Chains A and B, each alone.
Chain A
Amino acid sequence: MIEVIKVAKIYPPDINALHEISLTVSRGEMCFLTGKSGAGKTTLFKLICNMDQATSGLIEVDGQKMNLLRGRKLSQLRQKIGVAYQDFKLLPKRTAAENIAVSMEVSYKKPQIIRDRVCSLLDQLGLADKYNIPTGELSHGEQQRVTLARAVANFPTLILADEPTGNLDAVTTKRVMRLLSNCNKDGATILIATHDETIFRKSSHRVLEITNGRLKKMTGVPTVP
């Protein structure tokens, strides 16, 4: 699903965020990307979802070279990639439901399907009563869950979750992880960037560790449900 081949990213003037990283994530796999703050996890996510361009190297998602994609093809691929951003990227004046619906509206899903899906996700994440609340009025943890709901709403084939449990208590973390596991069981490939050891310590999924922009350690083997 994801092929990252000798990818480097240098931010001006000469900050090496990633040093020739190579990794492969199989279709349907769920794996964790861990490392300290500033290690390069978010940068790698940005390159994978084409928010930013690599300085060198090649990234392929679903067999398509990301640096060559433009226009309609790029839009179509982005519709298949759900990203839960670390900085949320929510629209504060729009309600939680509207924020989640955005990712389904761009692929012209029927309003009834969107409504059902949004309700279901809010329910799964313990936010059923926040349907009509503007996200600007939600707590940090609630906003984080709305972001995750938006990422998975459109049934993407690849989900990139950047610190999805950073502001959550243990119970809510479990809910979030259950949702991601269910998506994985339904066939989605999932890459989770996290500091939180508790969510991957007992997991059978692969854990990749990034340190100072280099892929240092891999534990586990690729597991596809």
Chain B
Amino acid sequence: MSFLFTVLRQLGRNLRQTWGVQIMTLLTVALSVLIFSFSYLVYTNIVHFGDRLSENIRLIVYLDEEPGPELRKQLERKILQFDDVEEINFVSREQAYNRFKAQLGENAAVLDGMPKNFLSPSVEVVPLNTLTHLNRLKDFSDYLSKMGGIQKVQFGQNWVEKFNYTSQLITIIVIASGALLILTTIFIVAHTIRLTILGRHNELELLKLVGATNNYIRAPFLLEGLLQGLLGSSIGLGTLYALFLWVKIHFTTSGFMAIFDFTFLNPWGTVIIILSSILLCTIGSWVTMQRFVKVC
């Protein structure tokens, strides 16, 4: 009889004998995974949403006077010293006037009689459109305003700050639910395996006496933890996917929610959550065996 066959049979016996506790454990693991992956899903969607919005964000640095070639190079160098950027555009007084005129469209006549140099020259800085860079916009703005020859710096400060707070809050929730997942999973699985071990104490004692090796006794319990992790995380993620579809179908086709382009976790994220759950459950199982199954 092969080792694998024997271990699988032992595993089957374990599951049959303690099926009630096993189901409770499975549901707890699934719930933990659901809580964590839900927070993570919200987080990834916020990041995604932020990325989309940040594509339109730019810092407008108004200058005191039209920069010469030397000052342009200096400004470029200073900006790049702070952070990488997507783009730096210098807008002369005349370009600013022309843009403004174009924006006014039919009402451009209001500019008649105005000098073409009444608008300030400026530098348009397009930051990299990632959340990390977006979160640094305020620092970037402060940095730019402290450079010489700057009148003021403008960007959607209000929006960016609110977005910043929200993303920080979601990050905390993701971390907290991640910690919850780790603690709950290890604790519950360890507890279940302990109950299984106590319930089968006489049998384990007998197995030792008839010459069962450590692997023979321990492998089914490890496999039990592994299975709890695999099934629990699959159920949790499956439930989340069903919820996701339901929300997408019922709430994102119209109204305020329509501006969000909801996406589910990417395949790698899903695989990592499943593997982490398997690892955590196996650790829970291993820890209990080390404490309660003294082999030889």
Interface residues in chain A, defined as those with a beta carbon under 8 Å from any beta carbon in chain B: 49, 51, 70-72, 74-81, 83, 89, 91, 102-103, 105-111, 114, 150, 154
Contacts and interface: CB of A to CB of B under 8 A. Distances in A.
Contacts of A80: 211
A221 to B, nearest CB: 32
Contacts of B89: none
Contacts of A105: 1, 6
Contacts of A108: 1-3, 6
Contacts of B202: 89, 91
A75 B209 CA distance: 8
Given A70-B296, A74-B296, A75-B213, A106 B207 contact: yes
A75 B6 CA distance: 16
B108 interface: no
A13 to B, nearest CB: 24
Contacts of A106: 207, 210-213, 216
Contacts of B210: 78-79, 102-103, 106, 150, 154
Contacts of B207: 102, 106
A108 B210 CA distance: 12
A89 B209 contact: yes
Contacts of A102: 206-207, 210
B203 interface: yes
A213 B203 CA distance: 31
A48 to B, nearest CB: 12
Contacts, number: 57
Contact of A71 (B6, B216, B296): B296
Contacts of B203: 91
Contacts of B205: 89
B117 interface: no
Contacts of A79: 210-211
B104 to A, nearest CB: 88
A160 to B, nearest CB: 11
B121 to A, nearest CB: 81
B211 to A, nearest CB: 3
Contacts of A74: 296
Residue of A51, A74, A105 with highest tally of chain B CB at under 10 A: A105
19 contacts: A51-B209, A71-B296, A72-B213, A72-B214, A75-B211, A75-B214, A76-B211, A77-B211, A78-B209, A79-B211, A81-B211, A89-B206, A91-B202, A102-B210, A106-B210, A106-B212, A106-B216, A108-B2, A110-B1
B1 A114 contact: yes
Contact of A109 (B1, B206, B209): B1
Contacts of B206: 89, 91, 102
A158 B139 CA distance: 81
A151 to B, nearest CB: 9
B2 A107 contact: no
Nearest to A98: B13
A107 B207 CA distance: 11
Nearest to A104: B1
A81 B208 CA distance: 12
A49 B210 CA distance: 10
Contacts of A154: 210
Nearest to A112: B1
Nearest to A108: B1
Interface in B198-232: 202-203, 205-214, 216
Nearest to B202: A91
B1 A78 contact: no
A71 B295 CA distance: 8
A111 B212 contact: no
Contacts of A114: 1
Given A102-B207, A150-B210, 14 more contacts: A49-B209, A70-B296, A71-B213, A72-B213, A75-B296, A78-B211, A80-B211, A81-B211, A102-B206, A103-B210, A106-B210, A106-B212, A107-B211, A108-B1
